[in-house]
């Protein structure tokens, strides 16, 4: 697959490696073009399967337009977000891009990079289609700037059933103590690194799941809205426990994307992986059937949520085509086709469970009754500057294990990038 000159230059400038950019120079969208360039990081596996589902509906509902795949591979947008930032800075936006509901979306709104979609919400009947809490996360100063495609759950522990059975584990742990006991059983059964882990943002996810267990949902929420201090003894205790948890993970974690860690689980070299529920779709897409799931031990009925949404950037070349894409994203048919393959659940409240795999049916039921908390690495809790500072602090901790230094870095990041008192 060829890279366009523009995207190749950006990749070189950032020194990043990315595997897929499906926009080749002969496909460049231009004025009057029918092409709608959709920029995501959904390049492979279950993520691509979800995108393909949505594209299928777009092809039918928006037959006058053509989908142009602008995906840049790399979990959680680790490469895509840099490419996007550079394009926005050069006034060269894609026709639409993926942005997380919450603080991350507010970054783009505050930088005046997005068009207001309030009129489309009225025209397409979207205003009452989504839960009010989600609408609040998409709205700034009474205007709404994106269309949500889904709700993902971040705090899920995936497992390899055969590896668990060999170690004599027959029930999911519901407490951290129980989890450590199971990890010890797995080590005793010969699994050297039972908890598969990847780099920075995946470490953020594991640490957040642990924080939810240690602090409970209300205090966890307070870390992001400024009511819980990062300097307390409870955070020191959580970091110390996290350090212990790292001793059960693979040592090469800092070089791994989430799919590399997932492979350890599929190959039976690990028993568990904490990951968002895009993993259900990816395991399905890869034909791996021997997996189980549970909420992270100690998280109770807390649902750590995030939502992918799509926007109309200012200066998009094909605003009409983008509006048709956004209408598809927000439609009940589009949400069913997308979420059945993506591991997430519809953001709309009126899509039935028919056609959804067992995992999503369970998640749809949980979503209705669970206590909701947001995620920092997936933008619902914090802005990209804050995400970056936490990610690098955790990357450093992964090699030096310095508890006091990590706590200090987390507290400084909150003071610099968090809500001002």
d(CA 162, CA 382) in angstroms, rounded, equals 38
Tell me which H or E stretch contains 362: helix 358-369
**Cβ nearer to ligand GAL, comparing 152 with 317:** 152
DSSP H or E segment with residue 311: strand 308-311
The residue (of 364 and 403) whose beta carbon lies closer to ligand GAL is: 364
| Shortest spacing between CB 201 and ligand GAL, in angstroms | 8
CB of 32 to ligand GAL, least distance (A): 32
Q: Is the dihedral angle over the CA atoms 350, 354, 357, 359 positive or is it negative?
A: positive
What is the tally of helices (H) and strands (E) in the chain? 17, 14
Query: At its nearest, how many Å lie between ligand GAL and the CB of residue 278?
Result: 4
The least CB distance from residue 42 to ligand GAL, in Å, is 6
The least distance separating ligand GAL from the CB of residue 401, rounded to whole angstroms, comes to: 27
> Helix 233-246 vs helix 200-225: angle between axes, to the nearest 10 degrees?
170
111, 153, 117: which is closest to 138 by C-alpha? 117
How distant is the alpha carbon of residue 405 from its chain centre? 27
Nearest distance, CB of residue 97 and ligand GAL, angstroms: 12
Contacting positions for ligand GAL (CB under 6 A): 41-42, 47, 75-77, 100, 152, 276, 278, 306, 308, 378
Which residue number, 79 or 328, has a Cβ lying nearer to ligand GAL? Answer: 79
How many whole angstroms separate alpha carbon 421 and alpha carbon 408? 19
Q: What is the Cα 251 distance to its own chain's centre?
A: 24
Name which of 47 and 200 has its Cβ closer to ligand GAL. 47
By beta-carbon proximity to ligand GAL, the closer residue of 323 and 341 is 341
User: Least distance to ligand GAL from the beta carbon of 1, Å?
Assistant: 19
Q: How far is the CB of 138 from ligand GAL (least distance, A)?
A: 14
Query: Is the dihedral angle over the CA atoms 327, 330, 336, 340 positive or is it negative?
Result: positive
Nearer to ligand GAL, 65 or 305 (CB): 305
Return the number of the residue (194 or 276) whose C-beta is nearest ligand GAL: 276
Distance CA 329, CA 40 (A): 13
| Angle, alpha carbons 156-159-164 (nearest 5°) | 140
Q: Which of 362, 31, 106, 373 is nearest to 213 (CA)?
A: 373
Chain centroid to CA 371? 19
**Burial degree of 170 (CB within 10 A; 0-12, 13-18, 19+):** exposed
Q: Which residue has the tokens 């998640």?
A: 363
Contact 76, 378 (CB under 8 A): yes
Nearer to ligand GAL, 47 or 95 (CB): 47
What token pair was written down for 413?
A: 């990041």
Q: How far is the CB of 355 from ligand GAL (least distance, A)?
A: 20
Q: 42 or 272: whose CB is closer to ligand GAL?
A: 42
């Amino acid at each position: 697959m060829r890279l366009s000159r523009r995207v190749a230059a950006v990749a070189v400038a950032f020194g990043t490696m990315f595997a897929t950019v499906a926009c080749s120079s002969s496909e460049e969208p231009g004025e009057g073009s029918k092409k709608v360039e959709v920029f995501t990081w959904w390049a492979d596996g279950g993520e691509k399967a979800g995108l393909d589902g949505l594209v299928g509906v777009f092809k039918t509902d928006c037959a006058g337009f053509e989908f142009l795949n602008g995906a840049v591979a790399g979990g959680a947008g680790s490469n895509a977000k840099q490419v996007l930032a550079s394009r926005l800075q050069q006034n060269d936006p894609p026709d639409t891009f993926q942005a997380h509901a919450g603080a991350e979306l507010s970054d783009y709104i505050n930088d005046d990079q997005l068009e207001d979609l309030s009129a489309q919400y009225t025209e397409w009947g979207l205003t009452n289609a989504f839960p009010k809490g989600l609408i609040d996360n998409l709205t700034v100063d009474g205007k709404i700037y994106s269309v949500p495609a889904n709700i993902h759950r971040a705090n899920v522990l995936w497992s390899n059933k055969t590896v668990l059975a060999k170690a004599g584990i027959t029930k999911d742990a519901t407490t951290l103590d129980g989890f450590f006991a199971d990890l010890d059983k797995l080590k005793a059964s010969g699994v050297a690194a039972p908890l598969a882990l990847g780099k920075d943002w995946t470490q953020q996810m594991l640490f957040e799941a642990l924080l939810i267990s240690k602090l409970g949902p209300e205090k966890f929420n307070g870390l992001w809205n400024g009511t819980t201090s990062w300097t307390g003894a409870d955070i020191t205790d959580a970091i110390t426990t996290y350090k212990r948890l790292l001793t059960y993970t693979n040592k090469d974690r800092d070089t791994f994307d989430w799919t590399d860690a997932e492979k350890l689980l599929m190959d039976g070299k690990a028993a568990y992986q904490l990951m968002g529920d895009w993993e259900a779709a990816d395991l399905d897409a890869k034909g791996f059937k021997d997996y189980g799931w549970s909420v992270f031990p100690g998280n109770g009925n807390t649902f750590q949520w995030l939502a992918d949404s799509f926007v109309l950037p200012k200066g998009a070349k094909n605003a009409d085509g983008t509006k048709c894409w956004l209408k598809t994203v927000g439609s009940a048919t589009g949400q069913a086709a997308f979420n059945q393959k993506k591991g997430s659940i519809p953001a709309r409240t009126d899509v039935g469970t028919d056609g959804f795999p067992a995992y999503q049916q369970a998640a749809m039921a949980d979503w209705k009754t669970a206590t909701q908390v947001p995620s920092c690495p997936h933008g619902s809790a914090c802005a990209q500057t804050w995400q970056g500072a936490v990610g690098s602090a955790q990357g450093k901790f992964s090699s030096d294990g310095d508890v006091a230094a990590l706590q200090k870095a987390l507290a400084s990041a909150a003071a610099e990038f968090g809500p001002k008192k």
